[in-house]
Amino acid sequence: LKTSRSSRVERAFATVPREAFLGRGPWPIYSYPSSYALTATNDPCEVYRDVVVGLIPEMGINNGQPSLHAHCIGLLNPQPAETVVHIGAGGGYYTAILAQLACDGEVHAYEIEPDLAARAHKNLIGFANVRMHAASGVDRQLPSCTAIYVNAGSSQPMNSWLDALLPNGRLIFPMTSESLMGGMVHLAYTKENVFSARIIRPVGFIPCVGARNSSKDSALADAFNEGEWRNVRSLLRGTEPDKTYWFAADDCWFSTRDAAEF
């Protein structure tokens, strides 16, 4: 049986027309590792498949795979009156999905690429609860919120993201190395400087501008390659790593111990 959470997400996807956020067809469909092929027609049915669609193909900026985002947004579980932050909004499609779920709250969307931010602003005019920011969502103080969804790869959870989370807040972001590959991380505020953590699945994302740390790249890639990412259970700030650490970033570290044990 479907859960109420999955039903809410399904309704949000059914409500928001994907083609309205992609520009005119035919649309460039992405194939791994780096090629695009135009759809045969400009029929919107072409983009109602589980495909990645190029927004700015020459920069590798895409509208991502619906099944991945549906799963992650379901885990993020935005509630009607919550404040949500979306970083790497692209053309605004998944921002609109978040806005449907946080229908009585606010969604603050950040997109650093100017042309894309302008497109997203236009696409989202009909969503009264969206605040579009043509700016980085990394190097600034963010609104206090209960949900953050990041759609570009970071070397670690950024302090600005963790600082913005209220008690019971959730953060989902792709933590990736320079290879663009890594894992989708789900954090939940447990108590000050302690978060429960799970790495949902392997993913590949373009880099998040301002959120890369080349000095940690090799260690992060090794941590993912060794396979222990499946055992990650918590994230700690302000303490030195103990023997349970999986990966240590500059200001935080991931542990295989449950958050409740700290």
Quote the strand ranges of 111-258, DSSP E. Answer: 130-133, 145-150, 165-176, 181-191, 194-204, 234-237, 245-248, 252-255
- Rounded to a whole number of angstroms, the CA Rg of the chain reads 18
CA 39 to each of CA 29, 56, 72, 94, 116: distance values in angstroms, whole numbers, following the listed order:
7, 16, 27, 21, 21
How many Cα atoms are found within 13 Å in the side-chain-facing hemisphere of 124? 31
pLDDT for 87 equals 99
Q: In what order do the strands lie in the sheet with 28-31?
A: 35-38, 28-31, 53-56, 61-63
The answer to whether 153 and 182 have CB atoms below 8 angstroms apart is yes
Residue whose pair of structure tokens reads 């950024």 in the numeric block: 158
The pLDDT value given to residue 77: 97
State residue 2's pLDDT score: 57
Write down the pLDDT at residue 5. Answer: 80
**DSSP-assigned beta bridge partners for residue 245:** 255
Measured CA distances, 230 to 20, 128, 201, 227, 233 (Å): 37, 39, 9, 7, 9
Enter the tokens of residue 217: 């790249």
- Could you tell me the CA-to-CA distances from 236 to 65, 169, 219, 231, 244 in Å, in that order? 31, 15, 18, 15, 11
Q: Which tokens belong to 166? A: 């209220």
Question: Comparing C-alpha atoms, which of 196, 85, 75, 210 is closest to residue 144?
Answer: 85
pLDDT of residue 1: 42
Query: Beta strand 130-133 with 145-150: parallel, antiparallel or unpaired?
Result: unpaired
pLDDT at residue 34, as a whole number: 80
Give, in words, the CATH class of 65-261.
Answer: alpha beta
Residue-range domain boundaries for the chain: 65-261
User: What does the alpha-carbon distance between residue 161 and residue 170 come to, in Å, rounded to a whole number?
Assistant: 10
Residue in this structure with the two tokens 């970033």, named with its chain if needed: 249
pLDDT one digit per residue (tens) for the chain, 262 residues: 456 688 999 999 999 999 999 999 999 999 988 899 999 999 999 999 999 999 999 999 999 999 999 999 999 999 999 999 999 999 999 999 999 999 999 999 999 999 999 999 999 999 999 999 999 999 999 999 999 999 999 999 999 999 999 999 999 999 999 888 999 999 999 999 999 999 999 999 999 999 999 999 999 999 999 989 999 999 999 999 999 999 999 899 999 999 999 9
* Residue entry with tokens 């045969």: 40
pLDDT digits (tens, 9 = 90+) for 175-207: 999 888 999 999 999 999 999 999 999 999 999
Identify any residues that bridge with 36 across adjacent strands, giving them in sequence order.
30
3 state SS of 161: helix
